[in-house]
Structure 1
């Protein structure tokens, strides 16, 4: 029975490979043949290729899909020519969280490549710094989602709550935590591949190293030249972010013994572009709500547009539509008919809710920053968003100062903010540890493209004034 099954699977893999090659143009087929030779060399030859492991960081962009298709073709060609082939791990990430449409897009691609039932392939997904099997279920448990949400809200309250900072560089810390789990295993990958352009990949790694050098008080990374220690150091930064009110616990240095190479798609394939026949075969029918942003399509644009819309409505006295549309216009993707109004608001809120367990009420509170600097904006926030609570303002201040107050007041504060009273009082009094504040400011300086957020805010401000 086993022999019959193996023969049947061998035939299926041949059919998958032939179908893949039939949908490639001549340049792509030549690239695959060259990739086969490179994988054999990096894997130590045909006798050792079975122990070689490749981890692919999979985004939603066409370059990521093309890279995966070529790696799959090379894996199957080597398996047909030799006794074994390399192992493939596919890590699916979409920040801040995977939605149903993104999952369906990946599933169509994986099905076309026949990855799900191949024992030589492992499909993973990353959520909020956690790693789990790819599928409809999040890698985070409800308690982990709640903790990630509180850490994310606290980050916003302590860093000015600019949308570009909230869904910017901090997301790379979550992604690095997932990479640390995937690479930390003794039998982990020998090669990390992504479709991120070489210059952007270099920029990302260099930015992470600068973060680790400036935050040595919270990390014990053994050396950031290794991608394993780099990812582990960034994971430790994430742990410090999750509870900035407590001193960081002592952490052992990351082991840097195992060598993991990091390469981009250009280093493996001379023709990294996608072809229309291959796109159709892999099921890449992108909808408006599934358009990726950022390096390798790792970022979801809708939650960021949603934050801009909420900020415009609640803080800037403009319409929600105006704020969201301004963000989409800034992307320069004029050909894409991005969702608008209630559709955008509902879908974006669902994605943030799935990723961080936060509702629109908590987001409005976050964008107002009502608790910072001894409640400087508290009265404006209450008057604008919760006018029925104006009579309770003195009690709100008492609760935030740690003095006795009615129970419903404390409950309202925690439900409206999504934070605990301990966290709220630390924000109100400014008692967060100085080293933690330094770490927060460092991460809040960069958006999803690792551009300076302050520069972007100034440009946006000048643009709004000139429009007026």
Structure 2
């Protein structure tokens, strides 16, 4: 039996619930099931999350139980859980490349930049963990059966929209993973370019699991909202809502802080307005999402207080900048470049980017375009572009030759998997913004977690 433990508040409760059943069976019958607890690591998971996981394991007496297996999945590799295990450099590079390439194709939109690739990686980790060793027969989840059906239906609809044939519905979870694998291949070809065969291949979704593998939901057997078991979380399990790990709707990921930061940078640098205005747009969206997800009022208030004042917003700007540097190895220059999306879609935004950020390179616009189109080689210019973007010339050329998703395009006007995902994404809000200090208001989108 397997339960996924991302390190957040909900999955911590799910682990505690399953552990209670695990111990109850041992006490009543003298034997119990083998329990596998799996954590997928990614660049957005700070060390504080590992500490929360460790405190949960200690509180539940899991470490010394021979009937419990604790695992980490790191980019397809399965290793024993170790609280102090350093983040693998290959995993950081893997996540960094996805983040930059996705962000450059979407003006740094929070969902496209971080969530789409991460969601596919999570699905892959389920397959990898479920087949590991002798495999598992059952996966425990906190998602309701209706949520599971809705998710499977959404995946099949996406596949059809992308021109792919979904797997046989009778295959259950195995079929869902097979369908996701097809979507992942199509999606990452779109993001990284069709010539990047090996990179796309290693981002597939593992689906070689037993067809008989089933899901069991605890949703109908317990009150799942964190407010209902607050004392269990904080007093017994030792769960800490840390400023680094707790951001908006996530209690195990610092990426939403970067999503807000990117919105601020886009408003400041692309729209030539203020960073604080962009933060305010993201804050309004994300606080609404927290309430929709039934976060306790005091956590919503805590998040609002972080950004409420000029000093708070400035402090979080510094924190997000440092986090981007430490977790992904990207600096402010590279993030600003990303929110302009100057290279994707035939470098349609190149002139505006150069005018705003690098006016000294305006005279080199034609040479840059020729370099991106493989019509010219200029090592000095290529090195400059690589520094300001954080991407190799090969990746910049892939961006140039591939699509650019736009939040301003008409519904259904853009082809590809990314537009399909973005259009069907529920975690977004359509707002009115001014794209220049004195310009007319237009519709824009805020998305994130």
Q: TM-score, normalised by structure 2?
A: 0.75
CA apart distance, 1:290: 3.1
Question: SS of the residue aligned with 2:301?
Answer: coil
2:124 to 164, 177, 196: 177
Question: Given the superposition, is the C-alpha separation of residues 278 and 403 from structure 1 closer, same or farther in structure 2, using an over 3 Å criterion?
Answer: closer
Q: How many angstroms apart in 2 are the aligned matches of 1:318 and 1:158?
A: 22
2:301 to 312, 334, 337: 334
Counterpart for residue 419 of structure 1: 391
Counterpart for residue 55 of structure 1: 3
CA apart distance, 1:186: 6.3
Question: SS of the residue aligned with 1:459?
Answer: strand
Q: How many angstroms apart in 1 are the aligned matches of 2:4 and 2:313?
A: 36
CA apart distance, 1:319: 2.6
Pairs within 5 Å for 1:87-236: 87-93=34-40, 97-126=44-73, 132-136=79-83, 141-185=88-132, 187-215=134-162, 221=167, 223=169, 225-235=171-181
Could you tell me whether the CA contact under 8 Å between 1:223 and 1:229 is conserved in 2? Answer: yes
CA apart distance, 1:361: 2.5
Question: Given the superposition, is the C-alpha separation of residues 148 and 331 from structure 1 closer, same or farther in structure 2, using an over 3 Å criterion?
Answer: closer
Could you tell me whether the CA contact under 8 Å between 2:105 and 2:344 is conserved in 1? Answer: yes
Could you tell me whether the CA contact under 8 Å between 1:375 and 1:428 is conserved in 2? Answer: yes
Pairs within 5 Å for 1:2-21: none
CA apart distance, 1:261: 2.1
Question: Given the superposition, is the C-alpha separation of residues 346 and 118 from structure 1 closer, same or farther in structure 2, using an over 3 Å criterion?
Answer: farther
Counterpart for residue 441 of structure 1: 419
Q: How many angstroms apart in 2 are the aligned matches of 1:166 and 1:113?
A: 36
CA apart distance, 1:280: 0.6
Q: How many angstroms apart in 2 are the aligned matches of 1:300 and 1:149?
A: 12
Q: How many angstroms apart in 2 are the aligned matches of 1:120 and 1:314?
A: 55
Could you tell me whether the CA contact under 8 Å between 2:245 and 2:251 is conserved in 1? Answer: no
TM-superposition CA deviations, 1:24-72 (whole Å, max 9, x none): xxxxxxxxxxxxxxxxxxxxxxxxxxxxx232344412x4322222221
Could you tell me whether the CA contact under 8 Å between 1:128 and 1:175 is conserved in 2? Answer: no
CA apart distance, 1:305: 1.1
- Is 1:367 the counterpart of 2:339? The answer is yes
Q: Which ranges in structure 2 are unaligned for 5 or more consecutive residues?
A: 288-299, 405-413, 435-439, 443-449
Could you tell me whether the CA contact under 8 Å between 1:221 and 1:253 is conserved in 2? Answer: no
Could you tell me whether the CA contact under 8 Å between 2:2 and 2:136 is conserved in 1? Answer: yes
Could you tell me whether the CA contact under 8 Å between 2:266 and 2:278 is conserved in 1? Answer: yes
Question: Given the superposition, is the C-alpha separation of residues 126 and 362 from structure 1 closer, same or farther in structure 2, using an over 3 Å criterion?
Answer: farther
Counterpart for residue 244 of structure 1: 193
Q: Which ranges in structure 1 are unaligned for 5 or more consecutive residues?
A: 1-52
Question: SS of the residue aligned with 1:274?
Answer: helix
Larger-gyration structure (1/2)? 1
Question: Given the superposition, is the C-alpha separation of residues 213 and 367 from structure 1 closer, same or farther in structure 2, using an over 3 Å criterion?
Answer: same
CA apart distance, 1:402: 1.4
Q: How many angstroms apart in 2 are the aligned matches of 1:134 and 1:353?
A: 26
1:451 to 405, 408, 426: 426
2:213 to 260, 263, 274: 260
Could you tell me whether the CA contact under 8 Å between 2:108 and 2:262 is conserved in 1? Answer: no
Question: SS of the residue aligned with 2:140?
Answer: strand
Question: SS of the residue aligned with 1:290?
Answer: coil
2:256 to 298, 301, 313: 301
Q: CA RMSD in A?
A: 3.8
Question: Given the superposition, is the C-alpha separation of residues 368 and 330 from structure 1 closer, same or farther in structure 2, using an over 3 Å criterion?
Answer: same
Could you tell me whether the CA contact under 8 Å between 1:161 and 1:366 is conserved in 2? Answer: yes
Question: SS of the residue aligned with 1:181?
Answer: helix
Counterpart for residue 64 of structure 1: 11
Q: TM-score, normalised by structure 1?
A: 0.73
Counterpart for residue 366 of structure 2: 394
- Is 1:344 the counterpart of 2:316? The answer is yes
Could you tell me whether the CA contact under 8 Å between 2:71 and 2:81 is conserved in 1? Answer: yes
Question: Given the superposition, is the C-alpha separation of residues 232 and 292 from structure 1 closer, same or farther in structure 2, using an over 3 Å criterion?
Answer: farther
Q: How many angstroms apart in 1 are the aligned matches of 2:221 and 2:31?
A: 21
Q: How many angstroms apart in 2 are the aligned matches of 1:79 and 1:129?
A: 32
Of 227-236 and 280-289, the range deviating more from structure 2: 227-236
Could you tell me whether the CA contact under 8 Å between 1:311 and 1:323 is conserved in 2? Answer: yes
Counterpart for residue 21 of structure 1: none
CA apart distance, 1:137: 6.2
CA apart distance, 1:99: 0.8
CA apart distance, 1:177: 1.3
Aligned residues: 403
Q: How many angstroms apart in 1 are the aligned matches of 2:157 and 2:397?
A: 31
Question: SS of the residue aligned with 2:39?
Answer: strand
Question: SS of the residue aligned with 2:342?
Answer: coil
Q: How many angstroms apart in 2 are the aligned matches of 1:402 and 1:138?
A: 42
Q: How many angstroms apart in 2 are the aligned matches of 1:252 and 1:364?
A: 31
Counterpart for residue 81 of structure 1: 28
Q: How many angstroms apart in 1 are the aligned matches of 2:58 and 2:318?
A: 29
